[in-house]
Amino acid sequence: MNSVHDMGGQQGMGPVEYEEHEPVFHAVWEGRVYALSRALRAWRKWSLDTDRYALEVMPPVDYLRMSYYERWLHRLEQQVVKYGFVSRDELQSGRPAPGSARANPVFTLATADRWQNRGIASSQDPKVPPRFKVGQRVRARNINPTGHTRLPRYARGKSGAIVRDHGVYLFPDTNAHAQGEKRQHVYSVRFTARELWGEAASPRDSVHLDMWDDYLERA
Amino acid sequence: MAEPNDMSVDRREFLKGVAAGAAGAAGPVTANAHAAGHGHTDDHEHQDVPSDLALRTKALESLLVEKGLVDPAAIDTLIDMMETKVGPRNGARVVARAWVDPAYKKRLLDNAPAAIAELGYSSGQGDHMVVVENGPSVHNLIVCTLCSCYPWPVLGLPPVWYKSAPYRSRAVIDPRGVLREFGTELAADVEVRVWDSTAELRYLVLPERPVGTASLSEEQLAALVTRDAMVGVRKVMPTPSGGYP
């Protein structure tokens, strides 16, 4: 969807603010939110793509106002209710409903190593043929879906060249909405800075984006 | 910090009760909602009242633990791993190895996940790594304009600036301006290649080995390599930067 998370090329965000000797987490709760989010996703009720979309649909003002892990906390509170882990009443009261069933965690010390791997399927799949070849000229399609997409606005309608075939991956635009994995090839596509930003850009510079087959058409 | 709109007074009172009453499962709650940009000496603005965010997190974790949905020990382990075991030190070892061993460098550029796994680092946001090499005429820069994709196994979790609106918005349209803010001035005839991590590929920059380091050991070289250089916002300097990043 065309929301504020799609930041490439936006202006007015100010200089990069750099923190010396930055800690991994700035507060204990940030680490807990990070780890809880990963442990809950191990139940596989929702995908990484679903989680990304949950941030994208946040009201833009909230997205910009909240810190990174505040967004994660907000998302986690929503996902556990939406996917039936806890009821809204339980979230409000902070206590399990009387008589509610007790589960067994799937993300445990014994299984932690396995869950470190996010379970991205192998990128090699000879059954899925590529639609494009390295060296071929392509154009990113001009699409404006209201669902999840990983095709940023700044590249839509722009032409580039395939520089590498990364193999086969799940298609986020459908996978985020439980509409199927739609496995297809992902390519590194090189766009010149001038194609993306006009004649004022450096003639030497380029931006590479990773793009699924369905994002591309022949140029 | 602004109040989340959906938090009623009742809920806040409840959360404070949780914080006061719940000893332990989730560890200590500290108030530090204003953390970004501050040093972490303990002598300023110490608060005894936990922040709303800390309270909400504590309440959610207690509920999830009580319902058997998460194992608190596994949560502790996950945090410990990101705080102490995974970080730019890993990436620095990969870079130093590539500098001293041309055959390793070739494997790294051809098949980064396998070459990185040779040093014992793998999985989690690194399953599909790509290493891009800087040289006298090419400078690479990594960004994720859509969210916060970052090569965890070799760099750990990303710093706040990498996830921030200024970096995400400007790295693709004004990479040279961003680099200048980091003190990295590139000649006009150097090609800047920006890599926007829009899929499940995770990028690492192989920086240029600084001149004057021919006599250094692999370990000494690794000590020169910074997180920022492996994202591509700075170059590696011939003397240690005083620690990571």
> What sign does the dihedral B178-B182-B183-B186 (CA atoms) show?
negative
- Would you state the pLDDT for residue A116? 57
To test the contact with chain A by mutation, choose from B64, B150, B181 the residue with the greatest count of A C-beta atoms within 10 A, namely B64
Residue A143 C-alpha, separation from nearest chain B C-alpha, in angstroms: 16
Tell whether A3 is covered by a domain: no
Q: Which residues of B touch A47 (CB under 8 A)?
A: none
Does the distance separating the beta carbons of B176 and A205 come in below 8 Å?
yes
Sign of CA dihedral A166, A171, A175, A177: positive
Which of A86, A116, A146 is the last residue before a domain boundary?
A116
Which of A9, A23, A210 comes nearest B201 by C-beta?
A: A210
Paired strand residues for A169? A184
Q: Which residues of B are catalytic?
A: 144, 147-149
Lowest mean pLDDT among A58-62, B18-22, B97-101: B18-22
- Find the residue in B nearest to A73 (Cα): B57
**B199 to A39: CB separation less than 8 angstroms, yes or no:** no
Q: What is the mean pLDDT of residues A192-207?
A: 97
Name the closest residue on chain B to residue A36, using Cα atoms.
B75
Percentage of chain A beyond pLDDT 70 is: 95
ipTM of the complex in this document? 0.95
Chain-centroid distance of CA A7 in Å reads 13
Same domain, A35 and A112: yes
Q: What digits encode the pLDDT tens for the residues B179-221?
A: 999 999 999 999 999 999 999 999 999 999 999 999 999 999 9
- Indicate the residue of A102, A151, A206 with minimum beta-carbon distance to B193: A206
Contacts of B195 in chain A (CB under 8 A): 207-208
Question: Which structural domain, as residue segments, surrounds residue A163?
Answer: 137-218
- Residues A175 and A144 occupy one common structural domain: yes
Question: Chain B partners of A31 at a C-beta cutoff of 8 Å?
Answer: 79, 82-83
Of the candidates B88, B240, B202, B235, the residue with the CA atom closest to the CA atom of residue B155: B88
Number of domains in chain A: 2
**Pair A46, A87 in one domain:** yes
Q: Which CATH number belongs to the domain containing residue A69 in this structure? A: 1.10.472.20
Q: What angle do helix axes A28-41 and B52-66 make, rounded to 10 degrees? A: 40
**Is A21 inside any structural domain?**
no
Q: In what order do the strands lie in the sheet with A184-192?
A: A216-218, A137-140, A159-169, A184-192, A206-212, B191-196, B138-143
Number of A–B residue contacts, CB under 8 Å: 285
Residue B19 has a pLDDT of 47
According to the model, what pLDDT value does residue B126 have?
53
Residues A102 and A147 in one domain: no
Contact flag A39-B74 (C-beta cutoff 8 Å)? yes
Q: Is residue A43 part of a domain?
A: yes
pLDDT in tens, A134-149: 999 999 999 999 999 9
Any domain includes A15: no
Q: CB–CB of B77 and A112 under 8 A?
A: yes
Is A67 in Cβ contact with B36 (below 8 Å)? yes
Q: Is residue A4 part of a domain?
A: no
CB contact under 8 Å between B60 and A36, yes or no, is: yes
Test the A interface: residue of B70, B182, B195 with most A CBs within 10 Å: B70
Nearest CB to A112: which of B27, B59, B78? B78
Q: Cα–Cα distances in Å, from A129 out to A125, A135, A139, B8?
A: 8, 17, 19, 54
B40 vs A contacts (CB less than 8 Å)? 23
Q: Which residues are CB-contacts of B77 (< 8 A; sequence separation ≥ 6)?
A: A109, A112
b/e sequence B174-204, b meaning 16+ C-beta within 10 Å:
bbbebbebbebebeeebbbbbbbbbbbbbbb
Whether residue A98 is found in the same domain as residue A148:
no
Question: Are A110 and A148 in a shared domain?
Answer: no
Res B4 pLDDT > 90: no
For chain B, the straight-line distance linking the first and the last C-alpha, in angstroms and rounded, comes to: 28
Burial of A203 (0-12, 13-18, 19+ CB in 10 A): exposed
Min distance B43 CA to chain A CA atoms (Å): 16
A88/A142 same-domain check: no
Nearest to B181 among A9, A16, A94 (CB): A16
Domains of chain B, with CATH numbers?
A: 87-231 (3.90.330.10)
Could B161 and A117 be called an inter-chain contact, meaning their C-beta atoms sit closer than 8 Å?
no
Identify the band that residue A55 occupies on the pLDDT scale cut at 50, 70 and 90. very high
Q: Is A203 a member of any domain? A: yes
Please tell me whether residues A149 and A190 are part of one structural domain: yes
C-alpha to C-alpha distances, B61 to A33, A48, A67, A103, nearest whole angstrom: 9, 20, 19, 14
Do residue A90 and residue B63 have CB atoms under 8 angstroms apart?
Answer: yes
pLDDT of residue A126: 83
CATH number where A167 lies: 2.30.30.50
How confident is the model over B148-160, as pLDDT tens digits? 999 998 999 999 9
In a domain, A132, yes or no: no
Q: CA-based angle B218:B224:B227, to the nearest 5?
A: 115
A110 shares its domain with A71: yes
For residues A152 and A209, is the Cβ–Cβ distance under 8 A?
A: yes
| Nearest residue, CB atoms, A169 vs list B35, B74, B199 | B199
Contact state of A68 with B148 under an 8 Å Cβ cutoff: yes
Task: Please report whether residue A13 resides in a domain.
Answer: no
